[in-house]
Amino acid sequence: MAHVLMKFGGGLITTKSKMKTIDERAIAKLSGLIKQLLDLDNRVTIVHGAGSFGHLKAKEWKIAEGAKPSILMEQKQAVKSIRADMLELNRLLCDSLTTLDVDSQSFPPSQWATEVGPNFLGDLTPIVNCDDSVVPITFGDVVNCSEPNLFGILSGDDLMVRLGKEIPTITHCIFLLGDTEGLLSAPPSDPNSELVRIWNSKMPISGEHDKQQDVTGGIFLKLNSASKISRVVENVWFIDGRRPERVLELLNSGNTRGTQIVP
Ligand code: IPE
């Protein structure tokens, strides 16, 4: 039996550039994957990103930079609105699981976490000790921070680091990506770009950070997070989220097409 911690990237479950648009087909496939994993007696813990339910408004109102006196009223309104949007996205995912008779329980970070980055504060034990018949789900969110920032963006990648380290039963930690098969040797636009099959933090990366839409760290934060987890979890992978069957293949055979992150 495996315990799989998975992150659904925001670019996988939403269309990143179009305000609050979900990818219904992708979500249905991912729910099917969770159902299959549970039917095979595995445990599953989920973290999801924000995509167009978080990044667009966060970018517009500079939420990741913290409170700015000249626009504080508007920022406070945006914080409320992003939190509501994230709850809505989370609800859509949970509803999709319910249609397959999968019970889930949501843990919205704005309600239990403060501060940003992997050392954020908050009690993870309700997620760690969640009944194994239920799929715990948490997500990247706007959280309260101490002064002068007042608020900030806690990324799902940071939640992955803490859950990967603090849930002792985790055997697999998988980042499901929306637009690539794993880590590429060069930006996707480069014709020589190839899938990197195995990566450790001493290897160079030539990434692109999509500052247009992304208010968290993009591929760099993801690699850094995965690298930290690989020190405690044996199987840490980046896999193409449009091909959920690769997760099952990894569990069955110990290998699949994707990038394995090693310490
Ligand atoms: C971002 O979380 C949260 C908000 C912008 C509110 P993530 O960093 O985990 O989201 P994605 O995966 O990049 O969309």
What's the pTM value of the predicted model, to 2 decimals? 0.96
Q: Which of 5, 14, 20, 55 to mutate to test the pocket of ligand 1 (most atoms within 8 A of CB)?
A: 55
pLDDT tens, residue by residue, 116-144: 999 999 999 999 999 999 999 999 999 99
Indicate whether residue 141 lines ligand 1 (CB < 6 A).
yes
178 touches ligand 1 (CB under 6 Å): no
CATH number at residue 187: 3.40.1160.10
Radius of gyration of the chain (CA): 17
For ligand 1, whether the C-beta of 109 sits within 6 Å is no
**Residue range 4-28: average pLDDT?**
97
Digit-coded pLDDT (tens) for 161-194: 999 999 999 999 999 999 999 998 887 778 888 9
Contact between 154 and 107 under an 8 Å Cβ cutoff? The reply is no
- Is the minimum distance from the CB of 6 to ligand 1 under 6 angstroms? no
Domain count, the chain: 1
Bridge-based pairing of strands 121-122 and 113-114 is antiparallel
**Domain range holding 176?**
3-261
